[in-house]
Amino acid sequence: MSAVTSNAEPRKLFGRVTLEQIATQGRALVALVLIIVIFSLLSDNYLSTGNLVTIIKQVAFNALVALGMLLVILHSGIDLSVGSTVGLTGAVAGNLFQGLDIGLNGLVLYPKVWVIVVLAVAIGCLVGWVNGMLIAKLNLAPFIVTLGMLYVARGLTEVLLNGENITRELRGQPELGNTGFFAVFASAPLGIPIATWVLIAVTIAFAFLLTKTPFGRWLYAIGSNERAGQLSGVPVAKVKIWVYVLSGFCASLVGILQIANISSSTADLGQFYELNAIAAVVIGGAALSGGRGTVRGTIIGAFVIGFLTNGLVIVGVSPFWQKVVTGAVIILAVALDQIQHILQQRRAARRATQRTLAEQSGRQSESAAQP
């Protein structure tokens, strides 16, 4: 198992800080501080309590999807279907609140809230499982599979909603015993939105998963060198399937939390979440080629996106220019990461050349010293 452990990330919860991580995640942290300072100077409302709560709530949605995306990117994959999975989960939950017609003499079944949540989350996991099976078992390209699933899930969302938003039904009916959805998923224990508490729980769980379990070592090994991982006994196919299932799970959680947040299930729910998630992972220092990335960095990246987007809105920047600025930040993050990678390769090549020359010089000196 030496090939596996040598490629794995450090084994501490949230990761031991290395020089490479300081260079990658440090950039994101500096960017976050600069964003906060700049927009707080431009607007007095930017750091107000109400706006900070709004930012944290929105960051929680993006960060949850990004954590699932992190697992996918660590194995050098991609999941473009997460945004549509968010929408599909919301549509499934909304329809279940309206009642499930089982086709027996007009009998309609109204599930309990916890049943609705479990079924909706199961749908998200199912989407991820299908993605994982197609990628792991049929060796299809992740980009193509998840792009196709993006359209499938979005289409199913529109079919389920039939062009209408579901609003009133989400509150349930007391006589049916299916109320309490908003009381739980739109609550704010200790003044903190429930989405943030869910993010904290998932963050701790994923950090433990990546740093303290064989699954985490296997995942980093596959991303670093899949063939070496196979030869070391890593269950590559199983790991790939599970990362997409977990990605779908994270997206489904956001779907549930979002319909509670906006009090409705809509056809456009979750649009562009996949792009924000990829941006957060990349800004946080993960490599799109796989094998490098941390939970800590992804959370920082999500906060960068969240604080930047909110700041642009607060100061009145046009929505069109908001997209330009956000896209430029993503490109800059990727460019800096690639520049750093190139410089590291050059330094490694120089050190290898110096060692070779030193060894040759030593051998020549030994030969000259012999009679």
**Across 100-104, 260-264, 279-283, least confident range:** 100-104
| Angle 281-296-32 from CA coordinates, rounded to 5° | 75
Judge whether residue 19 has pLDDT over 70: no
203 vs 67: CA distance, rounded Å: 8
* Range picked from 114-128, 225-239, 347-361 for highest mean pLDDT: 114-128
CA nearest neighbour of 277 among 124, 86, 126: 86
Say which residue, 231 or 201, is predicted with more confidence. Answer: 201
311 vs 217: CA distance, rounded Å: 38
Six token digits for residue 61 = 């949605």
Give 158's DSSP letter.
H
pLDDT band at 173 (very low <50, low <70, confident <90, very high): confident
* DSSP three-state, residue 100: strand
Q: Which helix (H) or strand (E) holds 101?
A: strand 100-101
Query: For the domain 38-347, what is the CATH code?
Result: 1.10.3470
The model's pLDDT over 70-104, given as tens digits with 9 standing for 90+, comes to 999 999 999 999 999 999 999 999 999 888 777 66
Average pLDDT, the chain: 86
**Across 8-17, 242-251, 256-265, 326-335, least confident range:** 8-17
148 vs 317: CA distance, rounded Å: 34
163 vs 326: CA distance, rounded Å: 30
Domain boundaries, the chain: 38-347
Q: Give residue 330's identity as a one-letter amino acid code.
A: I
pTM of the model: 0.86
Six token digits for residue 4 = 């596996």
For residue 11, the model assigns a pLDDT of 47
Say which residue, 58 or 25, is predicted with more confidence. Answer: 58
pLDDT above 70 coverage of the chain, percent: 90
Mean pLDDT of 12-27: 57
For the chain, how long is the longest CA-to-CA vector?
106
For residue 355, the model assigns a pLDDT of 84
CA nearest neighbour of 96 among 77, 69, 121: 121
